[in-house]
Amino acid sequence: MDIAPTTPHSHIVLPHALWRGTVRLIRSAPADAVTNMALDEAMLGEAAESGHTLVRLYEWARPTVSFGRNQRCDGIYSQERCDALAVPAVRRMTGGRALLHARELTYSVAAPTSAAPSLRGGYEAINALLVAALRSLRVEVSVAVPVARATSPGAAPCFETPSAGELVVHGRKLVGSAQHRESDAFLQHGSILLDDDQGLLHELALVRLPMIPPPATLHGLDASLTADAVARAIVEAIRGVTTGTIVETFDAALPAHRVAAAASRYADPRWTWRR
């Protein structure tokens, strides 16, 4: 997918099917772990039912650790240790490894699978949008092309090394993303780091974690960048590529029954600590 030169008005030249119909934009207030994950899952169901693309931009009310859907935590992390450090834990519906959410802007995109039939196609469409938005802020971001095979969801933190398709600045991961696909819709969400809080994972862990190089952060590149500035850049990038209707809406527009059903699972320790 072609991307325009790096200017304050960078935009995607060739719009993807993801952005051709109705796009619903949600800018959420900072929320707790259960609420954030429940809203993301509710978006997935809504995308399947409505056929719309939904984009949510949000932050976290307090530092939180999230685990990948199939990541083993037993013997590596524990609820008792997280409680002792007052860091809530939640298990995502997407894959990947442990991630500390604090000073970041998180994005989530849910869309019907017909708009991006493959996992790779979904990543490419969303990454192209994120690259355009970040480059409009003069962040020299690019898509990682690692030579090594993708790592399994083990003990190493998410920001240890970039995986294929993640976004980096000079080889250091800036945006970590994960995707979950069902028959009718998919969800991709990811963290855009403002500052580096990943070191807290070493305090939470019951074992010695691999040491990781510092990730890239927006404040390390430009101290004036804020979560709101990045959110605005993403919204402008969406406006630049959407050929259908853009609807700006709120969390409350997501069906309450979907949010409540998802929240009950994310609040359940049997889900968070199931493996």
Task: Provide the domain limits for residue 59.
Answer: 17-272
Q: What is the pLDDT of residues 8-52, one digit of tens each?
A: 344 444 568 999 999 999 999 999 999 999 999 999 999 999 999
Report how far residue 18's alpha carbon sits from residue 27's, in angstroms, rounded to the nearest whole number: 19
**Has residue 11 been placed in a domain?**
no
Q: What is the pLDDT of residues 107-143, one digit of tens each?
A: 999 999 999 999 989 999 999 999 999 999 999 999 9
**Has residue 211 been placed in a domain?**
yes
Report how far residue 164's alpha carbon sits from residue 123's, in angstroms, rounded to the nearest whole number: 10
pTM exceeding the 0.85 threshold for the entire prediction: yes
**Has residue 7 been placed in a domain?**
no
**Has residue 227 been placed in a domain?**
yes
The active-site residue, picked from 26, 158, 194, 234, is 158
**Has residue 3 been placed in a domain?**
no
Structurally, how many domains does the chain consist of?
A: 1
* Ordered strands of the 99-101 beta sheet: 89-91, 64-67, 99-101
Which helix H or strand E contains 37, and what residues bound it? helix 33-50
Calculate the dihedral angle through the C-alpha atoms of 48, 54, 59, 62, rounding to the nearest 10 degrees. -20
**Has residue 48 been placed in a domain?**
yes
Closest among 258, 227, 253, 234 to 55, alpha carbons compared:
234
**Has residue 2 been placed in a domain?**
no
Residue 28 maps to which CATH number? 3.30.930.10
Q: 158 catalytic, yes or no?
A: yes
**Has residue 239 been placed in a domain?**
yes
